[in-house]
Amino acid sequence: MWDTIADFGAIIIADLVLSGDNALIIGMAAAGLAPELRKKAILYGMVIAALLRIVFAVIATKLLGIPGLLFIGGVLLLYVCWHLYKDIRDHTDDKAYDALEEAEEGGYDGQPKKTMRQALITITIADVSMSLDNVLAVAAIADGDTTKLVFGLGLAILLMAFAATLIMKLLANYPAISWIGLAVLLYVAFEMLYRGITNCDTGIGPLMGMLSEAQCVPSGKGGH
């Protein structure tokens, strides 16, 4: 029971702290548009991010079961942690909040710096990377549990669609949340690496002959 509660808590934290880059890119891209197009660009950006998360979730769930890829997933999640650390250090959440505020409130009213098409291309390219980060973290925590995976994705989509500015303000005002999120993701990344090496079915240890069948651990978190 406590493991389940901890997993849901970790998913919520991951969804919160990994939304900063998404919000920053969407806000900055939308801010360069004519005022009447900004809210549309933000909405389209959120929809694109939501669709990409669903596609990546289906792919990630299948791929993490392939021998050797759990370890690679752990390495990628460590990279996500490094990226998140740089975001926290560079106050990305503050910048994201300002960008969303400017785009939504129409702070810039000069000549449009870009077209809707250019803005959406920028947003989509950025969303690919950021959606993959989010899905990888949620899929790792869910560990094959469909309920947790759907909850994590659904929450990420809802947060982006209805509370992006509020979340950025929360993270900007309480940076401790981001540091807690980083700690959670580091734990998940190292657990993925451990299982990616020692798991009997998908670990690189047994796969490469470094671990015998007696030495490897069964499927499931922590070998339970």
Which candidate, 25, 33, 163, places its Cα nearest to that of 106?
33
Asked whether residue 10 carries a pLDDT value surpassing 80, the answer given is yes
Q: What is the pLDDT of residues 115-129, one digit of tens each?
A: 777 777 877 877 777
Mean pLDDT of 2-9: 81
Q: 123 with 41: CB under 8 angstroms?
A: yes
pLDDT given for residue 213 in this prediction = 66
In 3-state terms, what secondary structure has residue 199?
A: strand
- Percentage helix, strand, coil for the chain under 3-state DSSP, each rounded to 5: 80, 0, 20
Q: What is the pLDDT of residues 54-65, one digit of tens each?
A: 787 777 777 777
Domain ranges of the chain: 2-186
Name every residue whose Cβ is closer than 8 Å to that of residue 13 and which is 6 or more positions away in sequence.
Answer: 177, 180, 181, 184
pLDDT given for residue 223 in this prediction = 47
Mean pLDDT of 56-77: 78
